Chain A
């Protein structure tokens, strides 16, 4: 175990596989967007995926809860293979939370209703209990006082924190983050990252598509670099940043870290 990993105290990784992708391929029309992806995610891992735009990193994590369909290969999430079976897809989505670049909060519902919608309708939870859980997570993301406002009344950073709380209310086993800070103003990025760091420290399995390299160094136990639809390099953050092996990775890092 590296020193790096020891410093990230309380973030233990077990050998239980939660997501497994085997030779996954996907095309948009004729465009080959995912090429032979092989990836195994263990419980408790914090994986940061980076890469130039159009490299397929968003598509990769969107395949995990089947917002995108893969055309070849296997994806197994929590022991269930993703197929056309709608019931199984819904089961998996219940266990996999997702946070989007543009928040995608429901504008016609209050913050609290956004958080309780899925627990009430999907988990058949009594409203009171759902609200208690929602308030718990809203406190965790530090905005319990905004519970009765509408998303349109919040700042971008606040909205994104609500979106994280909304996903957490379903008590997911895996969290997917699709560029959660790209649509935010600089001063709001930190408040969202702080919440994500807290989440990582609590032992959540996370796959994060982001360019926030500081975040990667701080919490990730693995960084994946993608280009042209394939995994070009993956390693522990320390190694990845100090000693990149592939030329493409070096070029990318030099551009992003200046």
Chain B
């Protein structure tokens, strides 16, 4: 009777585990293959045949650069929707990596002789099961979608983006767009409108939010309560309702263009929008712009120099006032020297509407008001919490050292409060950007509204929604990448 040494037992357990893992892998692949054939092909060999042609297609797409990058991305997305073997590939790679990981990292650990009670083995089995279930589910959905699309005779792919749009958009910025432009251009117009609205909204909401947040901390009871009331009211009313209210109550009932409300003799408010003089720049304007930018550059240089000088000699320098003078004064001087190279195109009434000038459509104004006022309530709370998060001892210590209140805020309180404020603030910016998609409710032509029109006209639901998701996810991912970077950089060093 031979007694097995621990090492021998361990070896036996290892090969048993490996065998079981391989067995279950094979089994899960069989399930996957069966489901794929059943749901997608209806026959047993379709998967392998498609896999071959798919690899061929990817190779062809990689070689074919004539379509440009957009076309190439489109090709990949088409492949995603059209060629089910893509998932087979992902599946095989995913499971393969997991097995490899197990073999390389987890295998050498001392294990239970019985694989069924081995923790790592159980984990791997469970993971295979989950992955297979998920893959089968996705496969099933993709299969259904393809079948349904074929049934409805909708061609998938992004070719429709080059088709003529045929609809007008009432706010086109930075690029040229007419009714005869393509769907792709229209989509781009929508994207620009989303970004413009979000950007201006973020700037205004930040300003308002910081003011209100600081007001809430005021020693003055009335001011603090006023700010608290503002926050509590507007935070607890759905944004969509606020958008409707601004649009239908504040902007729609404005008078017709003929009875416009006139401000400063040159700005006209009516139910078609806000019309203001449009500056037309002449030849010398470039110098003014150049003066402005050199003012900024000079200010930065002066700020650096002043800091260096203070560090060396202790003498402070009025950086803020000098910069203000440089940034505003320099362009102003150049402006007059070049003979005021700008004139204004005033809006004027022609027929029933205004011609010329600059027009801000009421949809934009309504969105901007609602987004700013709604988001500012959240920003105010973040700012308040951030400032309160700095312990009172910090204030006391700074004051006890003889710093002035301004220095205390600038050197001690704000740097610490910002660490607390910036991460949630960024996610509010993200929320504002996502919330700008509510524009569709009042037909401000943002990404979603324009996409919706294209969706209705072309019926390319999958592609439009994929594009939406792609845009918003990229914005989100870029933001969270920034946030991770910021948090890592700003983390207070602790033991």
Contact = CB atoms under 8 A, between A and B. Distances in A.
A104 B394 contact: yes
B416 interface: yes
A154 B415 CA distance: 21
Interface stretch (A10-18, A77-85, A125-133): A125-133
A102 B401 contact: no
Interface residues of B, number: 30
B402 A106 contact: no
A107 interface: yes
B263 interface: no
Nearest to B397: A104
A66 to B, nearest CB: 8
Interface stretch (B172-180, B360-368, B404-412, B471-479): B404-412
A77 to B, nearest CB: 13
A152 B416 CA distance: 14
Interface in A76-95: 86, 90-91, 93-94
A170 B495 contact: no
B401 A117 contact: yes
Contacts of A102: 391, 393
Given A108-B415, A108-B419, A121-B411, A67 B399 contact: yes
Interface residues of A, number: 38
Given A100-B393, A100-B396, A152-B495, A125 B314 contact: yes
Given A106-B394, A108-B419, A153-B495, A126 B311 contact: yes
Interface in A86-143: 86, 90-91, 93-94, 96-98, 100, 102, 104-108, 117-118, 120-129
Given A102-B393, A104-B396, A107-B492, A127 B402 contact: no
Contacts of B399: 65, 67, 93
B488 to A, nearest CB: 15
Contacts of B402: 90-91, 93-94, 118, 122, 170
A252 interface: no
A108 B494 CA distance: 11
A120 B310 contact: yes
Contacts of B405: 86
18 contacts: A65-B399, A67-B400, A90-B404, A100-B396, A106-B397, A108-B492, A117-B401, A120-B310, A121-B411, A122-B403, A124-B316, A126-B312, A127-B312, A150-B493, A152-B492, A152-B493, A163-B397, A170-B401
Interface of B: 310-316, 391, 393-394, 396-405, 407, 411-412, 415-416, 419, 492-495
Interface of A: 65, 67, 86, 90-91, 93-94, 96-98, 100, 102, 104-108, 117-118, 120-129, 149-150, 152-154, 163, 166-167, 170
